[in-house]
Amino acid sequence: MTHRTLLQFFHWYTPADGSLWDEVATRAEALAAMGITDVWLPPAYKGAEGSTSVGYDTYDLFDLGEFDQKGSKATKYGDRAAFENACRALETKGVRVIHDVVFNHKMGADEKERVTVRRVNPDDRNDIGSDEFEALAYTRFTFPGRQGAHSKFVWDRQCFSGVDVIEEPDERGVFKLMNQYGEGQWNDEVDQELGNFDYLMGADVEFRNKAVYEELKYWGRWLGEQVPVGGFRLDAAKHIPAWFFRDWVGHMRDTVDPNLFVVAEYWHPDMAALGSYLDLADKQLMLFDVALHHSFHEASKQGESYDISRIFEGSLVAAMPEHAVTLVDNHDTQPLQSLEASVDPWFKPLAYALILLREQGVPCVFYPDLFGASYQDAGDDGGEHTVDMPAIPCLPKLIEARQRFAHGPQTDLFDHFSCVGFVRHGTDDQPGCVVVLSNGAGGEKVADLGTDLAGTSFRDFLGHHDADVTIGEDGKAAFPVNGGSVSVWVRADAM
């Protein structure tokens, strides 16, 4: 049995040199050999910023780097041929391709239209003004560079629920587009922050327009005919009505692949909000474990004063393990990004052990943690900063350990504020492991592996600790760990 292990194969500062798709193809074989089963690629379609767009400013879902639009044919990551080649290289090695898609909004409209709007209180989106007036808005998308290839659908003011920029009068803010859908109200079944969080940015997609809804279903089916589709990562779910994904994901599983892996980004640490969205979406989604990520961030900042025995408290993986995708960092949390709450490098081996080797959750590895990254950007202080994200040396071994040793029932040894561990007891034909972590001084955990293993020698698969541990006649042994470190103890004869 292979344990599902995701790799987010990009970060915010992936160089805009058009080479990422080629890099995916080059690394496909090594990733498969390491134990990566699913690769999450960045949005492959054309964003409003063209060849510098990270991909979260959706312009044209049908332009996979194929048409001269927004200043270039290729996207930041390469052209359509390279994208197809990357997807097929992964598929050939048995790795599933997870496609990132932003349905919530569009940007970079081709034409302005005369629209009717009402001003909205940005702090209370249900406070929609009664004054209705005409203005110009960027709501018409005709995709002149594509000329109707793949889809003839033209987006207009009937396809959007709100905008943030109008002209004549020239204003910025949040504006409700008054059209034939929703009687002047926002979409429901969205997050309740700011009253109703339907509107995030750009031209906000109106899912109640049946033609829009059918176009987005058609796009999903179309993508499945162009490239291998193993699943989707759905951006900005808290701004998209749950009923849409309830239908869309079901439709994709009916038409593209019944086993699609679908994870939605609902960036909220509160289990009640996540649970309610999952219920509304008929539990067809996985969600990222935001709360656990925040705990990793806190633990890495607080050092030994953080009570690591409580690190899973309040997490999605504890509350709803079958719906949790666990992560350490991502493109939004890395240094200098919008949700910056990065995990300091010293703690990352511990955090990755806590997501890769446990029974619960589907872990997602972040590209810079595996391969390193270095970049420059402006910080909140306005100054230019250089960031080095070092590759975590033991991460390939932890990924390998997940496939080789993270098997069988789990016993938790979370009984100390700075030294915890857990045992994977193995199965009849696959070995287990004893994982010991310390965020303070060195320590040890006594584990009971059963008298069948009496006299068996164990070694640290990561090589962080050089002891040989031999199981006693009573089936028990003390497994050590260095300070601020993690050790993964496995049978010496299984190494």
Active site residue ranges: 235, 265
Extended beta strands in 341-431, E state: 362-366, 373-378, 384-389, 410-413, 419-424
Q: Which is nearer to Ca ion, 153 or 199 (CB)?
A: 199
The mark string for 249-268 relative to Ca ion (x by CB under 5 A, - otherwise) is: --------------------
Least Å from the CB of residue 115 to Ca ion: 17
Cross-strand bridge partners of residue 423: 411, 434
Backbone angles phi, psi at 438, to 5 degrees: -135, 130
Q: Rule CB under 5 A: is residue 198 a binding residue for Ca ion?
A: yes
Residues 6+ apart with CB under 8 A from 259: 253
Least Å from the CB of residue 233 to Ca ion: 17
DSSP 386: E
Subset of residues 29 to 68 that bind Ca ion, contact rule: CB under 5 A:
none
User: Distance (Å, rounded) from C-alpha 453 to C-alpha 472?
Assistant: 8
DSSP 57: S
Least Å from the CB of residue 198 to Ca ion: 4
DSSP 260: -
- Torsion angle in degrees (nearest 10) through CA of 299, 346, 432, 399: 110
Contact 254, 224 (CB under 8 A): no
Stretch that binds Ca ion, among 200-208, 352-360, 418-426, 480-488 (CB under 5 A): 200-208
Which residue in the shown chain puts its C-beta closest to Ca ion?
A: 239
Among 60, 66, 204, 460, binds Ca ion (CB under 5 A): 204
Stretch that binds Ca ion, among 1-9, 100-108, 210-218, 344-352 (CB under 5 A): 100-108
Q: Which is nearer to Ca ion, 191 or 460 (CB)?
A: 191
Contact 198, 186 (CB under 8 A): yes
Least Å from the CB of residue 105 to Ca ion: 7
State the Cα angle at 208 between 207 and 214, rounded to 5°. Answer: 65
DSSP secondary structure, 62-94, as one string:
T-SS-S-BTTBSSBTTB-HHHHHHHHHHHHHTT
Q: Which is nearer to Ca ion, 150 or 239 (CB)?
A: 239
Stretch that binds Ca ion, among 11-19, 34-42, 97-105, 459-467 (CB under 5 A): 97-105
Q: Which is nearer to Ca ion, 238 or 297 (CB)?
A: 238
Q: Which is nearer to Ca ion, 9 or 160 (CB)?
A: 160
Q: Which is nearer to Ca ion, 201 or 319 (CB)?
A: 201
Stretch that binds Ca ion, among 7-15, 172-180, 199-207, 436-444 (CB under 5 A): 199-207
Using alpha carbons, select from 445, 446, 442, 434 the residue that is nearest to residue 482.
Answer: 442
Residues in the chain: 495
Contact 240, 281 (CB under 8 A): no
Q: Which is nearer to Ca ion, 14 or 104 (CB)?
A: 104
Q: Rule CB under 5 A: is residue 164 a binding residue for Ca ion?
A: no
Least Å from the CB of residue 212 to Ca ion: 12
Cross-strand bridge partners of residue 325: 288, 362
Stretch that binds Ca ion, among 145-153, 193-201, 220-228, 257-265 (CB under 5 A): 193-201
Map tokens 């910080």 to a residue: 379
Q: Which is nearer to Ca ion, 84 or 198 (CB)?
A: 198
Q: Rule CB under 5 A: is residue 104 a binding residue for Ca ion?
A: yes
351 in helix, strand or coil?
helix
Q: Rule CB under 5 A: is residue 176 a binding residue for Ca ion?
A: no
Q: Rule CB under 5 A: is residue 196 a binding residue for Ca ion?
A: no
Least Å from the CB of residue 47 to Ca ion: 17
Least Å from the CB of residue 139 to Ca ion: 14
**Exposed (0-12), middle (13-18) or buried (19+): which is 112, by Cβ within 10 Å?**
middle
Among 76, 239, 268, 445, binds Ca ion (CB under 5 A): 239
Using alpha carbons, select from 423, 396, 299 the residue that is nearest to residue 350.
Answer: 299
Least Å from the CB of residue 123 to Ca ion: 17
**Which residues of the shown chain bind Ca ion in the complex (CB under 5 A)?**
104, 198, 204, 239
